[in-house]
Amino acid sequence: MTNRLANETSPYLLQHSENPVDWFPWGEEALSKSKEEDKPILLSIGYAACHWCHVMEKECFENPKIAAIMNELFINIKVDREERPDIDSIYMQALQAVTGQGGWPMTMFLTPELNPFYAGTYFPPYDTQHMPGFQRVLLSVSNAFITDRDKVNKNSIQITQHLQKEINIQPEKQDDTNILEKASEILGNYFDPINGGFGSAPKFPKPLSLEFLLRKSILNDDLKAQEIVILTLNKMADGGIHDHIDGGFARYCTDAIWLTPHFEKMLYDNALLAKVFLYAYQLTNNPHFLEISEKIISYVTNDLTDELGGFYTSRDADSEGGEGTYYLWTFDEVMNLLGQETGHLITQYFGITSKGNFENANILHIEKSIAQLSYEQNLSTEIIENKINNGIKKMHFERKRRVKPPLDDKVLTSWNGMMLTTLAEAGNILNKQEYIDKAEKNANFLWDNLMKNGRLLRTWRQGQSKLLGYLEDYSNFAQGLIALYEATFNPIWIQRSIYLCDQILQLFYDPSNRTLYDTGNDHEELIIRPSEFFDGAIPCGASVATMVLLKLARLTGSSNYQNAANNVLEKLSPIISSQPEPFANWLCAIDFATSSPKEIAIIGDRNNSSTQELLNQLRSKFIPNKVLAGFNNLLEEPPLPLLEDKIMVNNQPTAYICQNFTCNRPTNSSDEFKKQLEEINEGLSSSGFFQID
């Protein structure tokens, strides 16, 4: 027998559709029922790839006795945090305020007015030595709601007022003149010089922090920042967090040495990591970083891609009743598959032993380098590499015979925007049409399927689109379209990005308090209007939107875009300056805003060999603070102000480099173009945030 979740599209909600719990999706039916029956709401928030969400479902929500208590005493609402980041953000702040910690599954108890009054994460079904059981929690919370209602109401209102106060925080002015230096120094203090990454266990990849440090490394030749990134990327690439068979990275590691991951693979992690490996390749010319970036892209396009062009959300960690089962190997299994010679080489390369390193099996990680094995085996590195690659191919086909972990096949606009950006930039930097074709297919899919009546939507699955898009959806899609325009010079992409940016200012921006809200002004009313300004595993919508505004201001000359970006940055800069570590993408935006970004125009047919020679000069350099515009058809009007009054000199493809709308002499020569790129100052502008009058 199914419950109301059977009518939902979210794979996470559908996973709970056969629970004996009388689950409701978030909506008017459940919220009205709570008020009519004067019952508290049990709000359970999770996501499809969450291991402990699965554990709590099995132990509690599939338990008939516990389900009966839930059904009798509560209105039970199940939310997919990836579909509803607004609800997740609001009640995660409440959870952290009440308990001092966060995580999923999130278990919240609300009054009928939606104010939180008790909170937790995972609960076992019955009392343990260290944790109260869920059954006792249910009975205690219900009893408090019935017998001590005044206290419950008072406490819940206080929590909500605390959340409202946090959202309307007015920062005190601080010295933010050296904010980028301070942030780099703090990240350096957190850096693990042995294993790479930041802090100890659990350890997250933090690609946004790595991208900021790459930017910082070229800002003033900061070699320490570059060394942090290089060591971290190498350690992650060698570690168990990296899938050495099919590519892609798990969400995080439970240890400090990148060996033992939580095995779920998320689209956003892989989109952001592929990009930072690509940037590291541009900066260092290390082919290993390029190889890892392209393996990530290959993983996403092979495993997380819908035939219509959308990218799926995640691949779960669990299969066949165990966590990571799909990814683990025993020593005997490898030797039987590969034979004595190749098996011996692979077991040394990946550190595979009879004892194992995880539940009597092995998480693959690079234990010995190819160079080391070449020395020990007295064989050339080419021979060793070929033998290892052949062994990996056999392991790939063998692993395909296993039961795959479940796939969350919904398409989220914001996460697709991140992957769109990565594909477009990879196609542009590597001059790889295959990537550009996939990016264009994705951009068309999103526009055709998730834009309804001029309003962007949040999620799509199996032909059904729904839920109003959030700021992060608009901003990430807009950013991807800018990258796609720069990779193709097709004006349709920049026109669509401008449309989304105009919608951002109309729906999400409040100039009176210089705030970008996560929800549009046409969204349902919640206990607060969320405005997340911390960058976590993914960049917050506001930091991405600010970068989009800054880039489009350069391309279009729009003072509206520039002023909105400046207002938001000026408000948040004191907060970022006081604690820069959780603001990595904001730091990238500040780097862009306070530098003198290059405004580069290429006039001529993009497919012309001379045009490609000019573009190759850009491809060979990591120049994050730039915008690029191009004009293919000289018989039409230029699509952007940056291109106006620019012509082909000597009837040949021509490059213009401008800063602050003042241009160098145009050139047809790729050598001269290279010289101009190297000469123009990347340093800070003297006037702080750039102004357009």
Instruction: Please give the pLDDT value at position 518.
Output: 98
In a domain, 519, yes or no: yes
Gap between the Cα atoms of 660 and 679, Å rounded: 16
Is 385 part of a structural domain of the chain? yes
**Residue found by looking up tokens 């609800």 in the block:** 87
Residue 476, token pair as written in the block? 């990430």
Report d(CA 611, CA 41) in Å as an integer. Answer: 62
Dihedral pair phi/psi, residue 411, rounded to 5°: -110, 120
Task: Select from 339, 412, 555 the least CA-distant residue to 88.
Answer: 412
Beta-bridged to residue 452, according to DSSP, are 455
Residue 693 within a domain: no
CB atoms within 10 A of CB 593: 24
Statement to judge: residues 603 and 628 lie in one domain: yes
Q: How far apart are CA 100 and CA 533, in angstroms?
A: 19
Q: Residue 169's pLDDT is what?
A: 64
Residues 6+ apart with CB under 8 A from 421: 271, 275, 476, 479, 480, 483
pLDDT at 175: 54
Total structural domains within the chain: 4
Helix (H) or strand (E) holding 626: strand 626-631
DSSP-assigned letter for residue 666: P
Q: Is residue 174 part of a domain?
A: no
DSSP letter assigned to residue 289: H
Q: What is the C-alpha to C-alpha distance for residues 53 and 70, in angstroms, rounded to an integer?
A: 17
Query: 158 and 108, same structural domain?
Result: yes
Q: Strand, helix or coil at 252? A: strand
**Strand 106-110 vs strand 116-120: parallel, antiparallel, or unpaired?**
antiparallel
Residue 691 within any structural domain of the chain? no
Max distance between CA atoms of the chain, in angstroms, equals 86
Reduce the secondary structure of 128-145 to three states and give it as a string. Answer: CCCCCCHHHHHHHHHHHH
- Helix 223-238, helix 267-284: angle, nearest 10: 130
**Residues found in the chain:** 693
> What per-residue confidence (pLDDT) applies to 152?
96
Torsion region of 450: left, alpha or beta (phi above 0 gives left; psi -120 to 50 gives alpha) = alpha
Structure confidence at residue 479 (pLDDT): 98
Is the same domain home to 613 and 507?
A: no
Phi-psi domain of 311 (left: phi exceeds 0; alpha: psi -120 through 50; beta: other): beta
Nearest to 50 by CA among 204, 205, 262: 262
pLDDT single digits (tens) 316-326: 999 988 899 99
**Predicted local distance difference test score (pLDDT) of residue 659:** 85
3-class DSSP assignment, residue 58: helix
Specify if 688 maps to a domain. no
Residue 577 shares a structural domain with residue 635: no
Q: Which CATH number covers residue 108?
A: 3.40.30.10
Contact 83, 467 (CB under 8 A): yes
pLDDT for position 171: 62
Q: Based on the fold, state whether residues 211 and 344 are members of the same structural domain.
A: no
Which of 551, 566, 594 is the C-terminal boundary of a domain? 594
pLDDT at 130: 86
d(CA 60, CA 122): 10
In a domain, 692, yes or no: no
Query: What is the residue type of 269?
Result: D
Last residue of a domain, one of 362, 385, 400: 400
Residue 100: what residue type?
G
What sections of 285-400 are H helices per DSSP?
287-303, 331-349, 370-377, 381-399
Residues of the chain scoring pLDDT < 70: 168-177, 633, 635, 661, 680-693
Could you please report the per-residue DSSP string of 168-186? T--PPP---TTHHHHHHHH
Quick one: which of 440, 260, 501 has its CA closest to 358? 260
Q: What pLDDT sits at residue 678?
A: 86
570, 594, 618 — which closes off a domain?
A: 594
Do the beta carbons of residue 455 and residue 409 sit within 8 Å? no
The amino acid at residue 409 is D
Q: Are 74 and 61 in contact (CB under 8 A)?
A: no
Query: Do residues 142 and 13 share a domain?
Result: yes
Residue 378, sorted as left (phi over 0), alpha (psi -120 to 50) or beta, turns out to be left
Q: Say whether both 305 and 333 belong to one domain.
A: no
Q: Within this chain, do residues 308 and 334 fall inside the same structural domain, yes or no?
A: no
Task: Say if residue 313 is in the same domain as residue 212.
Answer: yes
The CA distance from 110 to 582, in Å, is 29
**What CATH number is attached to the domain comprising 557?**
1.50.10.10
CA proximity to 485, closest of 395, 547, 569, 421: 421
386/419 same-domain check: no
Reported pTM: 0.95
DSSP state of 392: H
| 3 state SS of 443 | helix
Helix, strand or coil, per DSSP, at residue 119: strand
Q: Residue 359, by phi and psi: left (phi above 0), alpha (psi -120 to 50) or beta? A: left
Same domain, 310 and 360: no
Give the span between the Cα atoms of 152 and 337, in whole angstroms: 62
Rounded CA-CA distance 211/188 in Å is 14
Same domain for 486 and 439? yes
173 falls within a domain: no
Instruction: State both tokens at 431.
Output: 């001059």
Q: Please check whether residue 114 is in contact with residue 105, taking contact to mean a CB–CB distance below 8 angstroms.
A: no
In this structure, what CATH number is given to the domain that contains residue 649?
Answer: 3.40.30
Q: Range of 70's domain?
A: 4-168
Each residue's pLDDT tens digit, 348-384: 999 999 999 999 999 999 999 999 999 999 999 999 9
Q: How far apart are CA 447 and CA 465, in angstroms?
A: 12
CB 492 within 8 A of CB 505: no
